[in-house]
Chain A
Amino acid sequence: MTVKMTPSGSATDLIPLAAHRRILHGDLGGKILLGLMAALIVVVPILNLAVPSDSPMHISTYAVTLMGRYLCFALLALSLDLVWGYCGILSLGHGAFFALGGYAMGMYLMRQIGDRGVYGDPVLPDFMVFLGWEELPWYWLGFDQFWFAALMVLAVPGTLGFVFGWLAFRSRVTGVYLSIISQAMTYALMLAFFRNEMGFGGNNGLTDFKDILGFSISAPSTRVALFVASALALALSYLICRAIVRSRLGRVVTAVRDAEPRTRSIGYRTDRYKVWVWTVSAMLAGLAGALYVPQVGIINPSEFSPLNSIEAVVWVAVGGRGTLFGAALGGALVNYAQTLLTAWLAELWLFVLGGLFVAVTLFFPRGLVGLLRRREGS
């Protein structure tokens, strides 16, 4: 057996032949993440539905839903890491895409209520009857169809992302300025959605959902199905993000992050790359929101709150920016910690979160993943 030691013909092997080939090659964290999702998809339904509720192995439906929500936050964190970790665009407005996806799903769920609302109107949601509206606004049309709503879950955040990105990146808005206008975007949307005339339920938002695809939304089996859908969405989105960052496009995007003028000078239209990645990220965030809403049973304008978007940045920083799976981990873990802590620290949570952010920035700039890797390396 001969060992090839020639310097030529070896280094280029590092560049993947094609992005979709051996997508998880060398990605331990990704393998763990996908393995975990596969395990959850199998185990959680069994432990909830098949194991009797008095058994210690039983997982309550409440816990299933809670975990499903963590997965949605993990997906939001993943989408944010794609733009922040890989393209260097710090978005302080990703909550807007999440909320828009949530509203698209909420509109479908509202129309599923049919005549079972308080006012019994077969078409109009309760809040419209209450406002004295005679007919459905045009932008509510089509949302009685699941496929249409599912399309809008991606299309609405995607369109906003595209328009925002096109305006901002073509005008070469970067750095702090971009962060600020992304924050302004979500704030403006919050104010708009608070208004009753907008037709999205004002400050109450959309709630009192009954069914999804004809199944009762509170039934344990539906909850489990939503959980499984969230796990699948996270796994699939991870693979998509991974394929992107492993492709040449991914390498161009990180080049933009590290040296944008240089990337331009070798002939890449960096603004187009940024718009593209930003739009994909917005759609993934929208998907997260759409899965979140049926699990919490409500969507209201507070989801647009600038604070939510900032929290998502902290998740990514804590988990490990620029690693994808670290971000997902951060999204799930920080929210889990919040659930544990809010029981006795409710008012203090934001301080804890802020402190966490400062600590991570100062002491573990590479987040939990960096910490684990260092452990492994030493």
Chain B
Amino acid sequence: MQWLDDTRAFMRRDQVFDIVRPVASSGRVDTRHGPILYLEDVTVSFDGFRALDALTLYIDDGELRCIIGPNGAGKSTMMDVITGRTRPDNGGAWFGQRLDLLRMDETEIAQAGIGRKFQKPTVFPRHRVVENLELAMAGPRGVWSALTARLDRSTRERIDEVLEEIGLADQGRALAGQLSHGQKQWLEIGMLLMQNPRVLLVDEPVAGMTHQEMDRTAELLTRLAGRHSVVVVEHDMEFVRSIARKVTVLHQGSVLAEGSMEEVQSDPRVIEVYLGE
């Protein structure tokens, strides 16, 4: 029983209570050895089916990485593991060298600096666009600070800036639920920008976008790399080609190939997976 476990955890004498434990902060992310994300031997099974099968993957600090793979390859599941939504049966996941993602919960991971855009765009439908951005904004997340929070000038300017950047300047007042699919995608990216995380996980960002919108997304994501580490999952090959420096191909839950777009595209195994079905 959960309550029983909670009580036991509460009674343990060899540890401090959650409330007084310092929240893992992005300042503690240690990337001296290069990678900012380490996934090692990660296995996730759903009723015996291995969605991730001993997946090992490293993402360097500041890099822009594209992850491709057929439907069901485990791309979204990988993001679930990194963000603490799904616990793997096996393996390790580290944020920098020191933060063990498997020992942190979803909120801690988000606060530590990993932001995510979901495959199915999820915004707060009954909040206005500006309010969605406000809620995502980096800053204290406590109840009392939320009660007394006020919106200062610099924050307002930041929100306006992001609105401009995601092309929703005219939609600021609209309810997020009324946006089109593509606009919701943009709003989610905008929420990521407000969160200002070290790592951005972006799941299928251009689904439902026009070519023009795709180009802007590509430009935006390339601009973000360097300041942030960006991991993009995408189906659209043209889009991937337009942004990718390094591509990882996932297949049946593990890495099939890794390298530049040209290398990956000429890899016979990749060709087989993509064309042989």
Which A residues have a C-beta under 8 Å from some C-beta of B?
A: 7-12, 14-19, 167, 170-172, 244, 247-249, 251-252, 254-255, 258-259, 261-269, 272-273, 276
Contact = CB atoms under 8 A, between A and B. Distances in A.
Given A12-B159, A167-B3, A252-B146, A265 B106 contact: yes
14 contacts: A7-B172, A12-B159, A14-B131, A14-B172, A15-B130, A16-B151, A170-B6, A247-B147, A255-B127, A258-B125, A267-B111, A268-B135, A269-B107, A273-B146
A18 B150 contact: yes
Nearest to A276: B143
B39 interface: no
B134 A251 contact: yes
A242 B134 CA distance: 19
Nearest to A16: B151
A265 B86 CA distance: 13
A255 B124 contact: yes
A259 B187 CA distance: 15
B160 A8 contact: yes
Interface string B110-137: 1100011010001111111111001110
B127 A267 contact: no
B169 interface: yes
B163 A8 contact: yes
Given A251-B131, A265-B83, A269-B107, A10 B146 contact: no
Interface residues of B, number: 45
Given A11-B128, A263-B135, A272-B143, 18 more contacts: A8-B164, A9-B160, A10-B173, A11-B129, A11-B172, A12-B130, A12-B134, A17-B150, A248-B149, A255-B127, A258-B124, A261-B122, A262-B118, A264-B110, A266-B136, A266-B195, A272-B142, A273-B146
B173 A14 contact: yes
Given A11-B129, A12-B156, A247-B149, A259 B106 contact: no
Contact of B127 (A11, A167, A251, A269): A251
B15 interface: no
Nearest to A172: B2
Give chain B's interface secondary structure class.
helix
B147 A249 contact: yes
B266 interface: no
B111 A11 contact: no
B141 interface: yes
Q: 8 shortest A-B CB distances, which residue pairs?
A: A11-B172, A267-B110, A249-B146, A18-B150, A248-B149, A7-B169, A171-B2, A8-B160
Contacts of A244: 147
Contact of B141 (A19, A247, A259, A268): A268
Contact of B160 (A12, A19, A167, A247): A12
B189 interface: no
Given A15-B130, A249-B147, A267-B195, A262 B124 contact: yes
Contact of B134 (A7, A9, A15, A18): A15
B14 interface: no
Contact of B143 (A258, A266, A273): A273
Contacts of B160: 8-9, 11-12
Interface in B137-172: 141-143, 146-151, 156, 159-160, 163-164, 169-170, 172
Contact of A11 (B2, B125, B126, B173): B173
A21 to B, nearest CB: 9
B67 to A, nearest CB: 19
B164 A254 contact: no
Contacts of B125: 258-259
Contacts of A11: 128-130, 159-160, 163, 169, 172-173
Interface in B2-53: 2-3, 6
Interface string B201-244: 00000000000000000000000000000000000000000000
